[in-house]
Structure 1
Amino acid sequence: MDQNRPLTKRELKQLRRLEKLDHDKQDGSRNTIRWIILGIGALLFIAFFGFLIFLAKQNSSQKETTLSNSGWVKGAENAKVTLVEFVDFQCPACKTYYPMVQGLLSTYKDKSFRLMLKHFPLTSSHKNALSSAMAAEAAGAQGKFFEMHDILYDRQDEWALLPVTSAQEKFILYAAEFKLDREKFVKDLENKELEEKIRANQDEGINNGVSGTPTFFLNGKIIQNPRSVDDFKKLIDQELK
């Protein structure tokens, strides 16, 4: 066959087809390599981002808190272990944890443990959060904070969904059960100084990483909410060693 003769149209068409197949194969290989590189890059990015989140959480958990020594306290003033709880009396989760915390107070009756309560009313979702905190403070002004604290949780279903004024009427009835001075209690429900105290508690919580309730700090360190009294005890016993 003459190697120098011109290619026929059929041969040219076949040659172009072969060249196209070869080109497509090369493009396919390049695309495969490109996708592999992109996939590896994406995995590395996800891993790096996850590592940054892990470091942030570690730093947050190890961050020194600046909690004040101001709050409503049950237990010895110089106790070795202090459990601080930020609460919202209308919060269903706080009500769930209420008997657990009471159980801790019963278990650690000696001078090794104390509970400190601070306010953190979630007013954006609980319309009576602030008014119930005010009721507790108004009762506290007459030496009955924890009595009001207990009844607010025990009877949360009675007042939580009421309009604010109706809820306040309930609080006044509760105060009567403790034989509080009615006139002073009613006046203190609107006491700006008591409200400022509540707001100060909330600001303190925000500055220390509190975003919801209940939030617990054990000896100054924020902890994940334990699921049971036994889980609480394990953490407390570690601090007592």
Structure 2
Amino acid sequence: MSQQRKSKGAFWALLGAVAVLGLIAIAYVAAKPKTRGITEVDLKADPTQARGYLLGDSTAPVQVIEFADFECPACMQFATLTEPDVRKLVEQGKISYRYFDFPLEMHRNTWEASNTAACADEQGKFWPMHDALFAAQDQWNGEATRNPKPVLKGLAQQIGLDVAKWESCYDEQRYRSRIAANRAEGERRHIQSTPTFIIGNKIIPGALDSDKFMSYVAEAAAAAGPRPATPAMGPASGLPGAKKDTSGARK
């Protein structure tokens, strides 16, 4: 009887040890950092490719940069409500406007959208595609579909692209390294949310309304003085440096 008790005790002790080891293994796997494809691409990104997409004269008195995500609702809000006034400033030669991709991992189809725009840029139509993507965001975003290509292909046709050339570029993901470099430039500048703007020498997060945007431009123009500003070249990308300003801006 005593021997049976000892055997049972040894059995339960062994079973308990196995259970503990199993729990430790599960905890290790759960806690282990997960590698993501996007992160790997970003780490390999060549920052010299980070030029963004320019609208206007690069020698304009005020340089404006936007880091944005095509699937970001706040970016769509800015593009729809404020950007028409921004483009008037571009047409008047008061600012230059440069768009950088900053795709967020939370948005399922944002890389496909950036890929779509980059392939449109190959045919000289980045900005028409930029506008079309934001206008149709609710048709191709991650909540609407897991396969955005049919909608994106329709947009390519809508803006007058050579669809066969666009599709070849899209399927090849020809400009993925450029998109990754644009995002890496944002990370180098400690961009954390979209949209985020650099106006003059200030970094401003949030979807600015027209009045707020104009006030930042006026401030930057006053700081630049009567002569067009010649921005200091950044160490990696050749883009102007900036200081962060969160006063009155939304995240």
TM over 0.5: yes
Q: How does 1:215-230 map to 2 (within 5 A)?
A: 215-225=196-206, 227-230=208-211
For 2:124 and 2:66, the matched residues in 1 are separated by 20
Is the contact between residue 226 and residue 232 of structure 1 (CA under 8 Å) also seen in structure 2? no
Is the contact between residue 194 and residue 205 of structure 2 (CA under 8 Å) also seen in structure 1? no
Q: How does 1:162-173 map to 2 (within 5 A)?
A: 162-165=144-147, 167-173=148-154
> Is residue 2:92 matched to residue 1:117?
no
Q: CA deviation at 1:164?
A: 4.0
Q: CA deviation at 1:193?
A: 3.9
> Is residue 2:117 matched to residue 1:133?
no
Partner of residue 218, structure 2: 237
For 1:180 and 1:68, the matched residues in 2 are separated by 24
For 1:155 and 1:188, the matched residues in 2 are separated by 21
For 1:170 and 1:69, the matched residues in 2 are separated by 27
For 2:108 and 2:216, the matched residues in 1 are separated by 34
For 1:74 and 1:224, the matched residues in 2 are separated by 20
> Is residue 2:62 matched to residue 1:84?
no
For 2:64 and 2:99, the matched residues in 1 are separated by 9
For 2:106 and 2:203, the matched residues in 1 are separated by 23
Percent of pairs with identical residues = 28
Worse overlay, 190-199 or 167-176: 190-199
Structure 1: which 5+ runs fail to align? Answer: 1-65
Is the contact between residue 70 and residue 113 of structure 2 (CA under 8 Å) also seen in structure 1? yes
Q: Classify 1:180/1:170 alpha carbon distance in 2 versus 1 (closer, same or farther; 3 Å).
A: same
Q: Classify 1:108/1:73 alpha carbon distance in 2 versus 1 (closer, same or farther; 3 Å).
A: closer
1:196 aligned to 177, 180, 197, which one?
177
- For this pair of structures, how many residues does the alignment match? 174
For 2:131 and 2:155, the matched residues in 1 are separated by 11
Structure with more of its chain in helix, by fraction: 1
Partner of residue 159, structure 2: 178
Q: CA deviation at 1:69?
A: 7.4
> Is residue 2:55 matched to residue 1:74?
yes
For 1:214 and 1:67, the matched residues in 2 are separated by 22
CA distances 1:197-229 after superposition (whole Å, capped 9, x unpaired): 000001110111111211111124312436421
Length-normalised TM-score, structure 2 = 0.64
Aligned residue type for 1:82: Q
For 1:153 and 1:101, the matched residues in 2 are separated by 11
For 1:68 and 1:216, the matched residues in 2 are separated by 20
Q: CA deviation at 1:108?
A: 4.8
Is the contact between residue 134 and residue 195 of structure 1 (CA under 8 Å) also seen in structure 2? yes
Length-normalised TM-score, structure 1 = 0.67
Aligned-residue RMSD, C-alpha = 2.0
Is the contact between residue 116 and residue 152 of structure 2 (CA under 8 Å) also seen in structure 1? yes
Is the contact between residue 75 and residue 113 of structure 1 (CA under 8 Å) also seen in structure 2? yes
SS where residue 189 of structure 1 aligns? helix
